[in-house]
Amino acid sequence: MLPRGLPGKRAETLDPNWDGPPYNPKDDGPPYKPEHDGTRSESLFTPNQTAGSAPPNTNSFKVTILADSNRDGKVDIAGSTDLAGKETWTAESGALFLANIVDTDRRCSSQITGSCADKLADIFFLGTTLPEKPGLDPKIAENEPWSDSGWRDWFDGLSESEKATYNEWREKFNEYLKAYEKVRNTDQRISACHDSSDDILRNSTYLAPLLTTPNPELSDSAIGSITVADKTAASNVRLFQKTAGQWTFISSNYTFKAEDLKAGLELGIDGRDVRRPGGWDGKVRVEFKVQDGEKVVKDSVELRVAPVLTQHHGQPLKQLLTATGDGGDDQQRFIKELGDISGKAGLQTPVRVIETSNCFRNDEIWAQDFFEPGYMSIPGSNGPVSIHIMIRSAQNDRRAGRKVFQDLRSNTVGAVQHLAGGVTTDSTGNLETVPPYENNGKTYPAGRAVMGSAGKRPFMMDFLDAQETQSPIELDTSWLAAQHTDEFMQFLPVESERGWVMMVNDPLAGLEILQKAQQDAHGSEPAVFRPKSPTDGDRWRVTNTIDELLNVTNFASFQKSCADQIEENVNIIKRETGITNAEIIRMPSLFQVYRNEAWQYAGAKPKPLTDEEKPKPLTDRNLKAFSAKYGLRLTATNAARSTIRSIPRLPRGPESNRNSSQLKIPRSRVASDGMIFLKPARRPKS
């Protein structure tokens, strides 16, 4: 299946950036059983490519190892289509293989327990050695008090030699704690256990084929070997041989017998990891050597692990995901309504609710912020062979990200992380994907990632760069409180030549609606309106009239400044993709300054702002400096029907309305009255 909006010729011309058709997500199948291997693995190993099917060599002693170097889903051992350029992987040609990081039968995931997945069983620490804990002289240690208040008196009572001994021990103990934490660090080790973290093949579905040509004229004393040239690459891949229907792990010192070499070897390769920034680039050179008597002949083939790609909204929707947060009534109602929507949409897989009530922040309902659904895909003889990949946000202190390893992995789903000290811009709500397109001679069959920055490039962009496929586009989101692209921009599928459009917020259009209503003598009408929710508190209703709102100091100029910021980002997307104004949907919206007195709520007595907090005249020049202090928050969107109907941003808290979308696909939902419920505003960082 080709990406929407791209002509069918892409599959024939083998575009340089084409790493196989886009992934078409599948529902998880039943628990894995060994007997499943036969049928499913045949998608890569087909009857017409078995190792013994090639015509025998006549006189020459020559060895050849082949992979799917032309990316047509088959290894051509009888012909020559996989010979050209097979020893050098390029964007145009070269075989791909998968990082087999699924968790068959949840062998690893089931061993993650504790509050917010903070306890790992020993299976995650195989091959690691704990540092030795330094001991303290029992005569000194036995009377050391636990309380801080008594410790100083105790220490002062020690002799000088005892103090020196204690200080020396304390220094060693601190080093021990650092070493222990490094080895036992939950966030670092939680990704260490998966299907390919050892040498046991649990699911052959994800092996990529390697075949050697038969050599029937070899002598019975001939021997052979398969090795990976680079040490780093060798540590990141596994090789297996299939004989009599069974797969056997091939170590670096494994020796093949003449019988196998004469018939030709049927091999499979998978990866233990993905492409990493500053680390392994995913390339592997597999070398095949045969010795017969004094003659030694070699051949090689180069492959590369498939990139981790983010999903775009042109791909089929299979399942909705959300999180529990603190389990409050408003979120429970949202989860129920989301389930109803899922059923009405005909989705066969129920909504997946991730338990996050114990994840440090009790309000962790932002499923779209702590992970991003992605995939890996390689060509197969019966279509793409793919794996779901859940990408954890690059935020060390966002504990909810651990849940992708505990809750979401399965026979067909893996997870990755690129941990770093990411802040709000590294939340994956700031990660969107432009659907496939061609522009200025460049083609992006898997689309392109989009992230916003605020003076510093998000760490996640390094990981995306390392995949060398979706070439992330960097926007400027420094002017927003949450600093996320999905606060003002989205890409949606349509039936057109391009296959998609871009939707952006338009503050000037929102302002014009209010101004037009005022001109038409409707200034005394409420500026915004929505129905009351059963979980709303007393402060659910905005009381501002249109006249009151338009009379707020700098309200109009503020909307203009926000519109200018949006347009700068729109121009970046235009330049990168070639999209035209006719392909941009502009949604009427309004913005406000955080903690601004503009919006008044029924029953609320707003706390007076200090002179420093009160709104000041805004210009394009000082907008960023102003918003850096206060942050900007999306306030309302979509003036529906003939009356002005939109949703204000309510304050965060127990009485605030959180019944707005937090989905990965799509980002918004449309209510029966035509209003679009955007995701809740986030509390700005202090």
**In total, how many domains does the chain have?**
4
DSSP state of 333: H
Same domain membership, residue 614 and residue 576: yes
Task: Give every strand in the sheet of 65-66, ordered side by side.
Answer: 65-66, 208-212, 266-271, 237-243, 246-249
Q: Which residues contact 542 (CB under 8 A, 6 or more apart)?
A: 526, 527, 528, 529, 599, 600, 601, 602, 648
Q: Of 400, 431, 466, which closes a domain?
A: 466
In a domain, 370, yes or no: yes
What tokens appear for 397 in the block? Answer: 């202190």
Neighbours of 532 (CB within 10 A): 9
Same domain membership, residue 164 and residue 293: no
Same domain membership, residue 322 and residue 449: yes
Q: What CATH number is attached to the domain comprising 565?
A: 3.75.10.10
Q: Of 305, 323, 343, which closes a domain?
A: 305
Q: What CATH number is attached to the domain comprising 91?
A: 2.60.40.1700
Same domain membership, residue 595 and residue 498: yes
With b for 16 or more beta-carbon neighbours within 10 A and e for fewer, the 45-60 pattern comes to: beeebbbeebeebeee
Distance, in Å, from the CA atom of 600 to the CA atom of 616, rounded to the nearest integer, reads 19
Same domain membership, residue 495 and residue 421: no
pLDDT in tens, 576-622: 999 999 999 999 999 988 666 678 877 655 555 556 555 554 444 44
Q: Of 158, 192, 226, which closes a domain?
A: 192
Q: Which residues contact 672 (CB under 8 A, 6 or more apart)?
A: none
pLDDT at position 593 is: 80
Asked whether 237 and 284 are in contact (CB, 8 A), the reply is yes
In a domain, 37, yes or no: no
Asked whether 494 and 553 are in contact (CB, 8 A), the reply is no
Q: Is the peptide bond before 666 cis (omega within 30 degrees of 0)?
A: yes
Instruction: Tell me if residue 328 falls in helix, strand or coil.
Output: coil
Report the chain's terminal Cα–Cα distance, integer Å.
Answer: 47
With b for 16 or more beta-carbon neighbours within 10 A and e for fewer, the 226-243 pattern comes to: bbbeeeebbebbbbbbbe
With b for 16 or more beta-carbon neighbours within 10 A and e for fewer, the 618-641 pattern comes to: beeeebeebbeebbbbbbbbbbbe
Neighbours of 26 (CB within 10 A): 12
Structural domain of 423: 308-466
Neighbours of 260 (CB within 10 A): 18
Instruction: Tell me if residue 386 falls in helix, strand or coil.
Output: strand
Neighbours of 648 (CB within 10 A): 22
Asked whether 637 and 562 are in contact (CB, 8 A), the reply is no
Same domain membership, residue 621 and residue 500: yes
- One-letter amino acid for residue 111 of the chain: Q
Same domain membership, residue 209 and residue 140: no
pLDDT at position 308 is: 99
Same domain membership, residue 115 and residue 96: no
- Which residue ranges in the chain fall short of pLDDT 50? 1-59, 617-686
In a domain, 450, yes or no: yes
In a domain, 637, yes or no: no
Distance, in Å, from the CA atom of 485 to the CA atom of 569, rounded to the nearest integer, reads 10
pLDDT at position 335 is: 95
Same domain membership, residue 525 and residue 606: yes
- Which H or E element spans position 155? helix 148-156
pLDDT at position 612 is: 58
pLDDT in tens, 278-304: 999 999 999 999 999 999 999 999 999
The pTM is what? 0.77
DSSP state of 425: G
In a domain, 45, yes or no: no
pLDDT at position 330 is: 87
Same domain membership, residue 568 and residue 498: yes
Same domain membership, residue 137 and residue 179: yes
Same domain membership, residue 243 and residue 117: no
In a domain, 9, yes or no: no
In a domain, 57, yes or no: no
pLDDT at position 103 is: 98
Strand ranges (E), 72-114: 95-97, 112-113
In a domain, 554, yes or no: yes
